[in-house]
Structure 1
Amino acid sequence: MHDIVSAHCLDLFAGTGILGLEALSRGAAFVSFIEQDKVLTQHLKILLQRLTVTAEEMEVISSDALHWLDRQSAAKRYDIAFVDPPFAFDIYPILNKIAENKIMNENAIVYIEQGEALVPEHLPKSWHLYKHQKSGQVHYHLIRCGR
């Protein structure tokens, strides 16, 4: 993984929160968990309390990803984003909104899991796909964010 220690991370489409939890276990300073399913967000809050993760280390928000992104600005920036939407989801509006709102620091990393390979030409202008792998039906992507 990219340099997780002291990183501010975004776990978009958090689901069970496994990617953000792994980041916290590796020394991330803060994780924002964004998940639309209210039952999953409640379970995640309970789990984080049991693990004694403090409010200074995380936030759990029950929201649609695009709706949440619409309310964000560059005042809060992330070093790493984990984006793991449902397989049939159109990822490009999400990626464009992340870039448009400038919520990623320069040289930040975006990790994406999805059911199809990304088309580099459809990525935000200053973003660069630098790693892609496939395992079964899952495509894994690492993107470096520029300015």
Structure 2
Amino acid sequence: MTGKLLHAYGNVKASKSELDKSYEFHLRGLQQYKSTIGNNHHRTADLCVKVSDHYTRLRQYSAASYLLDQALKIYGDRGYYDPEKARALYKKGRLLQLLQDTEEKSKKYLDEALQLNRKLKKGGADFRKGIEDLTDRDFDDLIVFWSK
């Protein structure tokens, strides 16, 4: 339960723009999950994504990339994690764009994120929108509240 609370407190602090406090709670939650439920649990992956956001903000790009890779590995090809996977793919693609990595690499992640987004939105997807029109919120909205 502690990891869930730390995750939630981190989200509350982020919503209040208290990003340093948010980072502390998210990092503590990630550490707690790793020590209790392990490195391969979907809740660990959820906090890998959250902490990667903080690392990106703090310009610790290699750490952010590592955590996104870990999250994607955990979510794998299990369809019930498609919303979380779509978000992680989107964030990885955007990070690669930020790093001005090869367009081919970032495009691979972003294309897969877009396809999952459209699949998950079903009838609500606007197929005129490309990946450049989507934001973090478009992917966060796909995810149940306890994994945000």
TM-score, shorter chain, exceeding 0.5: no
Q: Which has the higher strand share?
A: 1
Q: Which has the higher helix share?
A: 2
- What is the TM-score when the length of structure 2 is the normalising length? 0.32
* Greater relative contact order (Cα < 8 A, sep 6+): 1
- What is the TM-score when the length of structure 1 is the normalising length? 0.32
